[in-house]
Protein backbone atom coordinates (compact mmCIF):
# COMPACT_ATOMS: atom_id res chain seq x y z
CA UNK A 1 0.00 0.00 0.00
CA UNK A 2 2.83 2.40 0.88
CA UNK A 3 4.53 1.79 -2.49
CA UNK A 4 1.25 2.52 -4.29
CA UNK A 5 0.75 5.80 -2.44
CA UNK A 6 4.38 6.81 -3.09
CA UNK A 7 4.00 5.98 -6.78
CA UNK A 8 0.77 7.95 -7.11
CA UNK A 9 2.28 10.90 -5.25
CA UNK A 10 5.34 10.86 -7.50
CA UNK A 11 3.17 10.69 -10.62
CA UNK A 12 1.03 13.62 -9.48
CA UNK A 13 4.14 15.61 -8.58
CA UNK A 14 5.55 14.95 -12.04
CA UNK A 15 2.36 16.17 -13.67
CA UNK A 16 2.15 19.27 -11.50
CA UNK A 17 5.76 20.17 -12.30
CA UNK A 18 5.11 19.63 -15.99
CA UNK A 19 2.10 21.93 -16.05
CA UNK A 20 3.35 24.56 -13.57
CA UNK A 21 6.36 25.30 -15.77
CA UNK A 22 4.01 26.79 -18.36
CA UNK A 23 4.80 24.23 -21.03
CA UNK A 24 2.18 23.72 -23.70
CA UNK A 25 2.26 19.96 -23.36
CA UNK A 26 0.13 17.10 -22.13
CA UNK A 27 1.21 13.97 -20.30
CA UNK A 28 -0.19 11.16 -22.39
CA UNK A 29 0.45 8.20 -20.12
CA UNK A 30 3.24 7.07 -17.85
CA UNK A 31 5.24 4.01 -16.91
CA UNK A 32 7.32 2.99 -13.91
CA UNK A 33 10.49 0.93 -14.22
CA UNK A 34 12.52 0.25 -11.05
CA UNK A 35 11.09 3.33 -9.36
CA UNK A 36 11.73 5.69 -12.30
CA UNK A 37 8.57 7.31 -13.64
CA UNK A 38 8.50 8.09 -17.36
CA UNK A 39 5.89 10.27 -19.06
CA UNK A 40 4.86 10.34 -22.68
CA UNK A 41 4.30 14.01 -23.52
CA UNK A 42 2.50 15.52 -26.50
CA UNK A 43 2.53 19.18 -27.43
CA UNK A 44 -0.78 21.03 -27.03
CA UNK A 45 -2.64 20.93 -30.34
CA UNK A 46 -1.01 17.70 -31.55
CA UNK A 47 -4.35 16.18 -32.60
CA UNK A 48 -2.85 13.24 -34.49
CA UNK A 49 -0.20 12.41 -31.85
CA UNK A 50 2.75 12.44 -34.25
CA UNK A 51 4.83 14.83 -32.10
CA UNK A 52 4.35 17.88 -34.33
CA UNK A 53 1.71 20.60 -34.44
CA UNK A 54 0.91 21.43 -38.05
CA UNK A 55 -1.89 21.87 -40.58
CA UNK A 56 -2.68 18.13 -40.40
CA UNK A 57 -3.72 18.63 -36.78
CA UNK A 58 -6.03 21.47 -37.80
CA UNK A 59 -7.67 19.27 -40.45
CA UNK A 60 -8.04 16.33 -38.03
CA UNK A 61 -9.53 18.56 -35.33
CA UNK A 62 -11.98 20.09 -37.82
CA UNK A 63 -13.06 16.62 -38.95
CA UNK A 64 -13.39 15.45 -35.34
CA UNK A 65 -15.64 18.38 -34.45
CA UNK A 66 -17.91 17.72 -37.43
CA UNK A 67 -17.85 13.90 -36.97
CA UNK A 68 -16.99 12.59 -33.48
CA UNK A 69 -16.02 9.18 -34.94
CA UNK A 70 -12.60 10.57 -35.95
CA UNK A 71 -9.90 9.40 -33.53
CA UNK A 72 -8.08 12.30 -31.91
CA UNK A 73 -5.31 12.71 -29.33
CA UNK A 74 -6.30 14.28 -25.98
CA UNK A 75 -3.62 16.95 -26.60
CA UNK A 76 -6.11 18.52 -29.03
CA UNK A 77 -8.00 19.87 -26.00
CA UNK A 78 -5.87 23.03 -25.98
CA UNK A 79 -7.90 24.97 -23.43
CA UNK A 80 -8.16 21.90 -21.16
CA UNK A 81 -11.91 22.16 -20.61
CA UNK A 82 -12.57 18.46 -21.26
CA UNK A 83 -14.10 19.00 -24.71
CA UNK A 84 -12.44 19.25 -28.10
CA UNK A 85 -14.52 21.89 -29.82
CA UNK A 86 -14.48 25.10 -31.88
CA UNK A 87 -12.64 26.97 -29.12
CA UNK A 88 -9.73 24.54 -29.38
CA UNK A 89 -9.85 24.80 -33.17
CA UNK A 90 -9.63 28.59 -32.91
CA UNK A 91 -6.66 28.34 -30.51
CA UNK A 92 -4.90 25.94 -32.89
CA UNK A 93 -5.41 28.35 -35.80
CA UNK A 94 -3.81 31.13 -33.75
CA UNK A 95 -0.91 28.84 -32.77
CA UNK A 96 -0.27 27.90 -36.40
CA UNK A 97 -0.42 31.52 -37.58
CA UNK A 98 2.13 32.53 -34.94
CA UNK A 99 4.66 29.84 -35.90
**Segments making up each domain of the chain, as ranges:** 2-43, 55-97
Average pLDDT for residues 66-82, to the nearest whole number? 90
Tell me the per-residue pLDDT of 4-32, one tens digit each, with 9 for 90 and over: 444 454 444 445 444 444 446 555 566 66
pLDDT at 71 over 80: yes
pLDDT for res 5: 47
pLDDT for res 36: 73
Q: How many CB atoms lie within 10 A of CB 37?
A: 14
pLDDT for res 26: 56
Buried b / exposed e across 78-87, counting CB within 10 Å, b at 16+?
A: beeeeebeee
pLDDT at 60 over 70: yes
For the full predicted model, state whether its pTM sits above 0.85.
no
Amino acid sequence: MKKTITFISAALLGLSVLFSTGLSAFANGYSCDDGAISFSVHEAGDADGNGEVDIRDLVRMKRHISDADIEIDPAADINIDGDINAEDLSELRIMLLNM
